[in-house]
A and B are shown apart, each in its own frame.
Chain A
Amino acid sequence: MAMRELVTGGTSCPVPGSSSSSNPVAALAENLFGAASKTRDSVRELPGITRTGHPDASFYPGTDGQSALPGLEYYQQPGAQGSEFLHAYRADPAGFGGVWDEIQRPQLPPFAHPREIQGAPHLADLQIYDHGASSQLQPTLDGPPQRVLSSFLHSFVGSSRAGVPFRPVALPVLGLSEGDKQCIRDRSSIMARHFFADKSEDFINSQVNALLHSLEIDNDLRAKGHLPGRFHEFEEHWNESQGAVRAGPSHPSGRWAAEYNQQIVSRGDPESWARSFEQQHGSNGWATEFEQEQSQMISTGQMQGANNSNLAAMEQTRMLAHTLAQNDDPKFQNSKFLQFVSKMSRGELIIDDNQVKPAEASASGDWADEYQQKHYGIHNSWADQYARDEHSYGVDTWASEFATEQEKTGLVDDQWVNEFSKLHVQDWAEEFAQQVDEGAVGQNSADNWATAYDEYLNEQTAAKQRSDASRGVYVFSDMNPYVGHPNPLKEGKELFRKGLLSEAVLALEAEVLKNPENAEGWRLLGITHAENDDDQQAIASMMRAQEVDPANLEVLLALGVSHTNELEQAAAIRYLYRWLQHHPKYGHLASPEKSESLYYADVARLFNEAAQVSPEDSDVHIVLGVLYNLSREYDRAIESFQTALKLKPRDYSLWNKLGATQANSVQSADAILAYQQALDLKPNYVRAWANMGISFANQGLYEESIRYYVRALAMNPKADNAWQYLRISLSCASRNDMLDACDSRNIDFLQKEFPL
């Protein structure tokens, strides 16, 4: 069962004992809280219950030699109800909710002794770790004890990021209290398990021991106290079952459970939680932090109706619910706030227009108010920040990063699970603290996650953007049967002549892979791509051709045309001017110093001069036609192309140029005639077919346009533009039933539906 299903709910993920909830994780959390009062009663009834926590040796008489880790001890303190637990576990191995109830039970805090710092909250002690947030590995270890400690701990965290062993360091006397030590010990062992999830247990132990040794903390002190030898059987069984779960590759939930267990060891007394938080931040620290964050965001309300912001909000509440799950205070568990959060996390409550029913004033009333006030801000700021991030980082990068990652693993679900487990509340809190320190630059993983997830949802667009990002770089096909062909150039030319353009592309790619310096191969490849209606690839291959042979007139003209098609005026003028410079007949007209600052008017004037010099040269008229297209003087452009066609009537690409010009000057009926001429000369001219579709669509004849687009796509399924136009025509023709086929690029189906 995928982690995703645990969190979001899904058909394959029934929740034992809860028919209503669609979200098993949230249900679990609710089970924990909801069942708490009941559980507590049963705990009281149980004889010989052991209480956890403070190293109170009298509770744990049997200290045998087992080397348990601090992070694991609570597996070993089931108290007298161990057998009951086993029973429950055996009876319902899938019922995590039930199991968790059982696990949770012995950890209820002893009401009689609230402890000081032992169970300090995540945020607070993460602040310790992140204090002075810079990631240097070797901090200076002097100054006041607090400062030393924080930088020392920071170097521990830093070493974990670098993945290097952490070495013990001599520290000045820090005067840590027992409580502090315990806190650090617990935290470091837990965090180490997060950091080194991919490393062996031994490595983790040595890391933690190195840290603790430096701080003069006895690692085994508490752990030993917690080793009751009585429950061997239980322990074995637990380890066994745990091992089985871990072994199964399809059980990320098991891993999650384990991780959760590790973390839950550090459950704390709520009072100390609050106290320590206040110590760190002042009583309004939380609010202030959020306000600071918010103040850096753009105004709210821009993202109304944006699904992803709701999604982000829900994710956030889930994490919050998760954090809260570790708080055992009965008041807190019964509070409205918690109910509110768990409802939020299940999506039952959505904040809409800042309207949520206000929670009644209770012990937690302030919290609830605070949360409501802030939440709207949070969810907007998430969204806003997300939007802002795109400016600074560029969504293309994200998209390509995410897409490459996806391609590598091929297992989105697993990745998601990994991502999620990385996103454990601690990390989140840590990252949040870091972000605040760094002035909300938005590098935290929560944002990454939101971004990545949105990208995943919009995968198709992302893929398209990726292709844009790789602009100017030629992208070779993956599987090319012509690689290894004895003479791919000849084969490519033959295929091109036959009009099998997509095949010709493959053969010519094989040629330029074999001979990257073959300008002719690159040029033909470029022409083939242009005829196949792929200007991006055409430009990329023509640029390679031009690198090899900078003076090739055909290449320069083709680059000018392709850039004109892409509406890139400056680049187009540059190449057309070079064409003039390199032309043996007209080169003298162009003065070389001009090539940097080109004005359209100057270039057009030079070509007009050239046309006067030799009016019989069709190429000059073609270039003039392209230039007039750039300046959108379509009548003149049409005239030039018509002149050229008188000289070269069998040039199908010239007929297409004429047609395209006529189409762009909304003479669609004439354009269709010109395209027809081109297609008579070259029946597999994909570009002309696609242009036909465009002309029909621009006249509002969507049904017809669909047939031509489909025809073009049948010949070249890689023609992205035609897919986009087809989609528009389908929706304009009210053929929404075919949009799925279009989105999945099911050309066979479309061809059956829209034969030409």
Chain B
Amino acid sequence: MANSTLKSAALLDQMKLHLATDAGKDLVKKIGLVYQINIAPKKMGIDEESFVVDLKKGEVTKGPCEGKPDAAFSFQDDDFLKVATGKMNPQIAFMRGKMKVKGSLSAAQKFTPDIFPKPSKM
């Protein structure tokens, strides 16, 4: 993940560390689902990089999911950040076509901004 130039990769890196903390472990207990997130630098579907946020095992890995994720999302880089930092509500992102969802809808509904750690600013 460190070699990715996506902004989202920075956040997902932080997510990876976050899942090792107590707050992160609570997330695993609370949600217990596997999400795949496909992020495209400019246009959805083009040059996508896939990440797996495994809230069963508490891991974040690069590359597509080995099994079937509970839900898979597609974003454009900026839009993922907007959703993860609470700038954009996931429902609105979905309605506007800024977020595509595959898989279980109930799993997708648990994909909310509060599962992601917030980046601090220097």
Contact = CB atoms under 8 A, between A and B. Distances in A.
A727 B86 contact: yes
Contact of B92 (A458, A657, A727): A458
B121 A535 contact: yes
A567 B26 CA distance: 27
A666 B119 contact: no
Interface in B68-122: 81, 85-89, 92, 95-98, 113-114, 117-122
B20 interface: yes
Contacts of B96: 387, 390, 395
Contact of A728 (B17, B23, B113): B113
Interface residues of A, number: 55
Contact of B23 (A561, A664, A700): A700
Nearest to B18: A666
Contact of B2 (A391, A533, A535, A631): A631
Contacts of A303: 95
B47 interface: no
A687 B22 CA distance: 25
B91 to A, nearest CB: 9
Given A656-B122, A724-B87, A725-B86, A699 B97 contact: no
A664 B98 CA distance: 27
A565 B17 contact: no
Contacts of A391: 97
A566 B85 CA distance: 12
Interface in A219-268: none
A639 to B, nearest CB: 15
A690 B120 CA distance: 8
B39 to A, nearest CB: 13
A642 interface: no
B120 A671 contact: yes
A113 B96 CA distance: 52
A300 interface: no
Interface string A670-711: 010000000000000001001100110111100000000000
Contacts of B23: 698-700
A663 B117 CA distance: 10
Contact of B88 (A461, A657, A728): A461
Contacts of A728: 86, 113-114, 118
Q: Which of A657, A661, A699 has the most CB of B within 10 A?
A: A699
Contacts of B7: 566-569
Nearest to B17: A666
Contacts of A699: 21-23
A578 to B, nearest CB: 18
A102 to B, nearest CB: 44
A700 B122 contact: no
Nearest to A641: B122
Contact of A461 (B2, B81, B92): B92
Contacts of A668: 21
A695 B21 CA distance: 12
B93 to A, nearest CB: 9
A78 interface: no
Interface in A369-407: 387-388, 390-391, 395
A70 interface: no
A663 B120 contact: yes
Nearest to A304: B105
B87 A700 contact: no
A39 interface: no
A668 B114 CA distance: 17
A665 to B, nearest CB: 6
Nearest to A462: B92
A703 to B, nearest CB: 14
Nearest to B2: A632
Interface residues of B, number: 33
B118 A698 contact: yes
Given A387-B96, A567-B7, A728-B114, A694 B120 contact: yes
Nearest to B21: A666
B10 A632 contact: yes
A697 B97 CA distance: 29
Q: Which of B92, B98, B118 has the most CB of A within 10 A?
A: B118
B20 A306 contact: no
A288 interface: no
A511 to B, nearest CB: 25
A6 interface: no
A700 B17 contact: no
Contacts of A570: 5
B13 A632 contact: yes
A695 B22 CA distance: 13
B20 A731 contact: no
A743 B89 CA distance: 13
A626 B23 CA distance: 27
B11 A567 contact: yes
Contact of B122 (A388, A395, A561, A697): A561
Nearest to B13: A632
A595 interface: no
Contact of B97 (A388, A565, A657, A695): A388
A561 B85 CA distance: 19
Interface string A389-428: 0110001000000000000000000000000000000000
A564 interface: yes
B61 interface: no
Interface in A641-666: 653, 656-657, 659-661, 663-666
Given A461-B88, A724-B86, A664 B119 contact: yes
A664 B5 contact: no
Contact of A666 (B11, B14, B88): B14
Give 7 nearest A-B pairs by CB, closest first.
A387-B97, A700-B23, A567-B7, A724-B86, A660-B120, A663-B120, A657-B122
Given A454-B95, A666-B20, A690-B121, 16 more contacts: A303-B95, A387-B97, A461-B92, A535-B121, A565-B121, A566-B7, A567-B7, A660-B121, A663-B120, A664-B14, A666-B21, A699-B22, A700-B22, A720-B87, A724-B87, A725-B85
Interface of A: 303, 306, 308, 387-388, 390-391, 395, 454, 458, 461, 464, 533, 535, 561, 564-570, 626, 629, 631-632, 653, 656-657, 659-661, 663-666, 668, 671, 687, 690-691, 694-695, 697-700, 720-721, 724-725, 727-728, 731-732
30 contacts: A303-B95, A387-B95, A387-B97, A390-B96, A461-B92, A464-B87, A564-B122, A565-B119, A566-B7, A567-B81, A567-B119, A569-B7, A570-B5, A659-B120, A660-B121, A661-B122, A687-B121, A690-B121, A695-B120, A697-B118, A698-B18, A698-B117, A700-B23, A700-B26, A720-B87, A721-B85, A721-B121, A724-B87, A725-B86, A725-B118
